[in-house]
């Protein structure tokens, strides 16, 4: 086997290792996950019930409820990705394994992408359960829904979300105490400017400019249109996501490398927060 082939093989085995570890841990914390799922459903219901309180004709109410549900589902999906990415460092530091992972011959890209890949898979499962559980509870009808287009768009957006997640995963390296929480601040800000429950056009102009570089803007708009109106994949949503996907991961990785060197220079890798 050539050196390149051997190295590629080893990196792929390492990537599998990251996913496998997360599967082990998810199994161990399964009951906690159910409890968290109940909380997510309850939280989403508080948002979707707003449609009922709007006192509009049933068809409009159904559309409004669907729009709110899509927003809340993507919020939950993004929450899982950011949680897993920021925990790349925070969780391992808490367990004390971080030094063993960081001294292993696994490229940082594979390490972080493995974490992101599991987060996307796990997030998609949870988002699907959430969507259909709330839709059934409220009685939302989606006769025109094009779920495959929505799923494809979400998968495409996930590459960008992983890239942005990599950027935030460096925060616990810089601030062991508060870094993980800052990841959730980034998630919230991203969704606010991306029109999570409303069209981007209702925001001030400067926020609309920020919305243009947020992958969530296109994921939300595309998923909403696919589920409510049955629109398929629209190029206007796809091309910005492709560009952001190509840029976000290298930028995220470069930021993470700077953070990792900072932590190694100042001895912050091991420090318990």
| Residues near another protein, by CB under 8 A | 6-7, 9-10, 13-14, 16-18, 20-21, 24-25, 28-29, 95-97, 99-107, 261, 264-267, 269-271
Q: How far is the CB of 253 from another protein (least distance, A)?
A: 15
Q: Is the dihedral of CA 101, 102, 103, 109 positive or negative?
A: positive
Burial of 242: CB neighbours in 10 Å, binned 0-12, 13-18, 19+: middle
Q: Which lies closer to another protein via its Cβ, residue 16 or residue 239?
A: 16
**Shortest separation between residue 20's beta carbon and another protein, angstroms:** 7
Torsion angle, CA of 161/162/168/172, rounded to 10 degrees?
150
Q: What is the dihedral of CA 131, 187, 149, 200, to 10 degrees?
A: 100
**Cβ-based nearer residue to another protein, 180 or 269:** 269
CA dihedral 177, 179, 180, 183 (to 10 degrees): 160
Residue closer to another protein (CB basis): 28 or 212? 28
Shortest distance in whole angstroms from residue 220 CB to another protein: 35
Nearer to another protein, 16 or 39 (CB): 16
- Which CB sits closer to another protein, 100 or 198? 100
Residue 15 C-beta: closest distance to another protein, Å: 9
**CA-CA-CA-CA torsion sign (263, 268, 269, 273):** negative
Least Cα distance to 36 among 74, 69, 83, 68 occurs for 83
Q: Give the shortest CB-134-to-another protein separation in angstroms.
A: 30
How near is the Cβ of 221 to another protein at its closest, in Å?
39
Q: What are phi and psi of 56, to 5 degrees?
A: -120, 165
Decide whether 7 or 209 has the Cβ nearer to another protein.
7
First to last CA, the chain: 43
Q: 48: closest CA among 268, 40, 25, 147?
A: 40
């Amino acid at each position: 086997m050539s050196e390149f082939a051997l190295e590629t093989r080893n990196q792929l085995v390492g990537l599998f290792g990251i996913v496998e570890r997360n599967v082990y841990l998810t199994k161990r914390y399964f009951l906690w996950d159910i409890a968290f799922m109940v909380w997510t459903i309850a939280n989403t219901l508080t948002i979707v019930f707003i449609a009922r309180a709007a006192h509009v004709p049933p068809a409009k109410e159904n559309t409004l409820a669907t729009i709110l549900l899509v927003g809340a589902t993507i919020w939950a999906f993004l929450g899982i990705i950011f949680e897993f990415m920021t925990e790349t460092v925070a969780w391992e530091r808490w367990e004390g394994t971080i030094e063993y992972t960081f001294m292993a011959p696994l490229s940082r890209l594979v390490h972080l992408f493995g974490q992101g890949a599991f987060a996307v898979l796990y997030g998609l499962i949870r988002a699907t359960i959430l969507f259909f559980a709330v839709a059934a509870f409220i009685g939302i009808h989606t006769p025109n829904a094009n779920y495959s287009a929505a799923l494809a768009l979400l998968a495409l957006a996930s590459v960008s979300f992983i890239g942005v997640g990599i950027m935030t995963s460096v925060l616990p390296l810089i601030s062991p105490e508060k870094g993980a929480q800052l990841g959730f601040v980034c998630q919230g800000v991203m969704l606010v400017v991306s029109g999570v429950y409303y069209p981007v056009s209702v925001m001030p102009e400067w926020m609309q400019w920020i919305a243009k570089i947020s992958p969530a803007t296109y994921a939300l708009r595309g998923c909403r249109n696919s589920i409510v109106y049955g629109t398929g994949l629209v190029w206007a949503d796809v091309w910005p996501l492709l560009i952001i996907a190509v840029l976000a991961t290298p930028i995220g990785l470069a930021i993470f490398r700077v953070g990792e060197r900072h932590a190694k220079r100042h001895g912050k890798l091991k420090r318990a927060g």
